[in-house]
């Protein structure tokens, strides 16, 4: 490669944010516009399950750039329609990326879902009155369905939040290794206590806290993999958690009254000293964006980087230790399951045609 071409690729960053359409995903994108030197070319690959939402999101990010960052370099967009609960969709997405790009610099694993059935309003009221900070940090009144499987026959939350993204990373390792400073950033949660995961139910099919269990799996998988990813591929992987912020996903269970009630509770919790009530997606994106420039010599990879804020809402970073118990068992399980899926998908014909391009 000539010096000019090397410089050209170094000055061109390509980032994928899974679930870009979420409040956090869009704010990570906004912050990348500030973070990556303005004269660099930046390609943002927006992902969603639907084209309409991907388009809407691209429109919002473009508008943000026109009104705020006004980047000097080229800002271009692409989209990927990925359904994390469908292994063929993941395979297609990776295939399409390999066809269209010769490197990927940053991969954010942000998309996630739970299988919620609603709220236990009596329990919610009790918890909020007794301890508003705990009620809005570790709520136990969100009702989750038990035993939901994907069409692939896997635990749905397990596949959407951990196994699907893990498989995507595995498929993209080579492409990431072509970047001079590749990064993979997982979005975990505060809600990932060891007690949420049972080792005889790693697909979370018997669990009524499958969302929380999936985040515990994210933490363990990260601990078990980050060294290998760096040693073999030069990929720097970090795990982060965004604190607590307003999410679009729970809106369907709220009316204007309960929505503002929830916001009020968040502010009360912050005033009572909670460092985690960021409330805004922008502040929640602080840790995920910080680790993009973290230096692995000084910024440890075996901790969880957290977005926190002061009483007055000033953002800062607060890291959490991760209990590593069981990380090797988790990695073994994922490696074995990956081999099974490699075998199942080996004759899959990928369909990479897009409805229309950018």
Catalytic residues: 188, 211, 215
Min dist. Cβ of residue 266 to ligand NAP (A) = 9
Of 113 and 140, CB closest to ligand NAP? 113
CB 322 within 8 Å of CB 282: no
Task: List interacting residues with ligand NAP (CB under 6 A).
Answer: 19, 21-25, 48-50, 53, 82-85, 110-113, 160, 187, 189, 241-242, 244-245, 247-249
What's the length of the chain?
A: 358
Of 189 and 203, CB closest to ligand NAP? 189
Of 25 and 182, CB closest to ligand NAP? 25
Of 234 and 317, CB closest to ligand NAP? 317
> CB neighbours (10 Å) of residue 300?
12
Min dist. Cβ of residue 73 to ligand NAP (A) = 26
Min dist. Cβ of residue 135 to ligand NAP (A) = 13
Beta strands 236-241 and 183-187: pairing type? parallel
Task: Give the span between the Cα atoms of 337 and 65, in whole angstroms.
Answer: 41
Min dist. Cβ of residue 336 to ligand NAP (A) = 23
Min dist. Cβ of residue 39 to ligand NAP (A) = 30
Beta strands 12-17 and 106-109: pairing type? parallel
Of 69 and 85, CB closest to ligand NAP? 85
Distances (CA, A) of 325 to 180, 186, 329: 33, 19, 9
Comparing C-alpha atoms, which of 183, 104, 181, 116 is closest to residue 145?
Answer: 116
Min dist. Cβ of residue 113 to ligand NAP (A) = 4
Of 51 and 296, CB closest to ligand NAP? 51
Min dist. Cβ of residue 309 to ligand NAP (A) = 13
Comparing C-alpha atoms, which of 100, 134, 122, 90 is closest to residue 345?
Answer: 90
Of 182 and 242, CB closest to ligand NAP? 242
């Amino acid at each position: 490669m000539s010096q000019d071409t090397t410089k050209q690729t170094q000055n061109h960053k390509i980032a994928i944010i899974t679930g870009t359409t979420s409040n956090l995903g869009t704010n990570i994108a906004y912050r990348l516009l500030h973070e990556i030197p303005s004269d660099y070319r930046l390609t943002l690959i927006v992902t969603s399950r639907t084209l309409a939402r991907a388009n809407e999101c691209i429109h919002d990010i473009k508008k943000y750039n026109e009104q705020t960052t006004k980047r000097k370099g080229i800002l271009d967009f692409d989209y990927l329609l990925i359904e994390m609960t469908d292994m063929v969709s993941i395979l297609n997405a990776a295939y399409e990326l390999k066809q269209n790009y010769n490197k990927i610099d940053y991969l954010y694993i942000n998309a996630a879902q739970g299988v919620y059935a609603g709220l236990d309003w009596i329990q919610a009221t009790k918890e909020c009155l007794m301890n508003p900070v705990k009620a809005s940090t570790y709520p136990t009144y969100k009702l989750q369905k038990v035993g939901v499987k994907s069409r692939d026959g896997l635990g749905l939350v397990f596949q959407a939040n951990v196994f699907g993204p893990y498989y995507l990373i595995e498929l993209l390792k080579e492409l990431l290794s072509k970047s001079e400073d590749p990064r993979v950033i997982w979005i975990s949660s505060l809600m990932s206590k060891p007690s949420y995961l049972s080792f005889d139910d790693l697909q979370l099919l018997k669990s009524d806290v499958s969302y929380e269990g999936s985040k515990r799996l994210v933490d363990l998988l990260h601990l078990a993999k980050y060294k290998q990813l760096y040693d073999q591929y030069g990929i720097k992987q970090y795990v982060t958690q965004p604190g607590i912020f307003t999410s679009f996903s729970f809106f369907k269970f709220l009316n204007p009254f309960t929505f503002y009630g929830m916001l009020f509770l968040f502010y009360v919790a912050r005033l009572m000293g909670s460092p985690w009530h960021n409330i805004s997606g922008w502040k929640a994106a602080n840790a995920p964006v910080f680790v993009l420039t973290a230096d692995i010599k000084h910024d440890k990879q075996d901790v969880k980087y957290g977005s926190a804020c002061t009483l007055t809402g000033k953002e800062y970073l607060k890291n959490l230790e991760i209990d590593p118990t069981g990380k090797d068992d988790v990695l073994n399980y994922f490696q074995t399951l990956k081999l099974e899926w490699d075998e199942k998908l080996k004759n899959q014909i990928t369909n990479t045609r897009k409805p229309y391009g950018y």
